[in-house]
């Protein structure tokens, strides 16, 4: 049985540092240090841990944030040990984070994720109910971890309104595609001259990201998805659903656009 805790002590937060390195294949110098997590916990933030016995198997760290007049909770990172992924640990961590944030008076949690990571996209949009309408190019600059090495660190920004219904999984009909991908190798943008549809589709590679071995192909996917999503967002669409069978984003026209 997995136990979930709010972390306070130095040993607990040191264990988070080590888990970061395992989950993302980080250079230890790039891990968020215990000192930052402790300072955040004293000033509107929190670090959560998931434990199997005495072993930490998952974590979530975030802090208070402000943008213009909006105050919100920024979830900087959440990860699960590879041996425990697919068991609902990440989902439960986010639910515990949501409950804590509501108790503290937050109404929204924001975070970034790599738009090419289909597991994260499905989890954030279809399971949690977050929406995406902001695209950040090369958000962290050059990164030297196992996932991002050699590519622009593009991120999309998830917005999770905590009092709204959770989860929007799509099945059945797939809207017109903004990026044609008959296979994982040959991609072509297919942007409309007139944006008249209520929804469009942006596919992701069907192969796992780790199995796409060539840098050229990875960069092609990065630039193709970047162009499709950035253009859709600029046209007043938001990624509000994920089609698991077709493997891609459903971008829908915003009601106020």
Name, in order, each residue with C-beta under 8 angstroms of 130's C-beta and a sequence gap of 6 or more.
Answer: 124, 158, 159, 160
Q: How far apart are CA 159 and CA 133, in angstroms?
A: 8
135 and 174 co-located in one domain: no
Q: Between 239 and 139, name the one with better pLDDT.
A: 239
| Domain final residue, candidates 106, 141, 168 | 168
Written as six digits, the tokens of 207 are 């192969």
Q: How far apart are CA 53 and CA 35, in angstroms?
A: 25
In terms of residue numbers, what domain contains 132? 2-168
- 108-113 and 70-80 beta bridge pairing: parallel
115 and 80 co-located in one domain: yes
The CATH number given to whatever domain includes residue 61 is: 3.40.630.30
Instruction: Output the pLDDT for position 147.
Output: 65
Instruction: Output the pLDDT for position 140.
Output: 85
Summarize the confidence of residues 135-154 as an average pLDDT: 80
142 and 195 co-located in one domain: no
Q: What global pTM score does this model have?
A: 0.91
What is the average pLDDT score of the chain?
A: 92
| Domain final residue, candidates 168, 198, 219 | 168
Written as six digits, the tokens of 53 are 């016995």
* Lookup result for tokens 């004293």: 42
Query: Buried (b) or exposed (e) across 87-105, using 16+ Cβ within 10 A?
Result: eebbebbbebbbebbeeee
Instruction: Output the pLDDT for position 141.
Output: 84
pLDDT digits (tens, 9 = 90+) for 195-227: 999 999 999 998 777 777 788 888 999 999 999
- Number of domains observed in the structure of the chain: 2
Instruction: Output the pLDDT for position 227.
Output: 97
Q: How far apart are CA 89 and CA 153, in angstroms?
A: 26
| Domain final residue, candidates 141, 168, 195 | 168
Phi, psi values for residue 55, rounded to 5°: -90, 125
46 and 151 co-located in one domain: yes
The percent of residues above 70 in pLDDT, for the chain, comes to 95
Select from 14, 124, 4, 138 the least CA-distant residue to 75: 124
Task: For residue 170, give the 3-state DSSP assignment.
Answer: strand
Q: How far apart are CA 19 and CA 7, in angstroms?
A: 14
Residue 148 has pLDDT above 70, yes or no: no
Helices (H), 48-177: 89-103, 118-121
Instruction: Output the pLDDT for position 74.
Output: 97
Residue 47 has pLDDT above 90, yes or no: yes
163 and 79 co-located in one domain: yes
Q: Between 212 and 157, name the one with better pLDDT.
A: 157
Written as six digits, the tokens of 91 are 């989902």
């Amino acid at each position: 049985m997995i136990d979930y805790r709010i972390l306070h002590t130095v040993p607990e937060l040191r264990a988070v540092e080590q888990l970061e390195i395992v989950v993302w294949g980080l250079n230890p110098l790039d891990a968020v240090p215990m000192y930052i997590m402790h300072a955040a916990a004293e000033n509107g933030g929190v670090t959560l841990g998931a434990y199997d016995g005495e072993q930490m198997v998952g974590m979530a760290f975030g802090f208070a944030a402000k943008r213009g007049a909006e105050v919100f909770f920024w979830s900087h990172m959440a990860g699960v040990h590879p041996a425990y992924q697919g068991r609902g640990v990440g989902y439960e961590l986010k639910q515990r984070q949501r409950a804590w944030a509501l108790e503290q008076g937050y109404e929204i949690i924001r975070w970034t994720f790599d738009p090419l990571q289909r597991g994260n996209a499905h989890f954030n949009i279809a399971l949690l109910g977050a929406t995406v309408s902001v695209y950040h190019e090369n958000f962290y600059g050059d990164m030297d971890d196992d996932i991002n090495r050699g590519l622009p660190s593009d991120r999309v920004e998830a917005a999770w309104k905590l009092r709204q219904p959770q989860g929007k999984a799509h099945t059945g009909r797939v809207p017109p595609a903004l990026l044609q991908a008959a296979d994982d190798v040959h991609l072509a943008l297919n942007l409309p001259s007139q944006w008249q549809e209520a929804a469009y589709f942006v596919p992701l590679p069907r192969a796992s990201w780790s199995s796409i071995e060539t840098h050229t192909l990875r960069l092609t996917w990065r630039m193709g998805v970047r162009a499709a999503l950035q253009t859709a967002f600029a046209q007043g669409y938001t990624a509000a659903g994920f089609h698991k069978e077709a493997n891609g984003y459903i971008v829908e026209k915003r009601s106020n656009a």
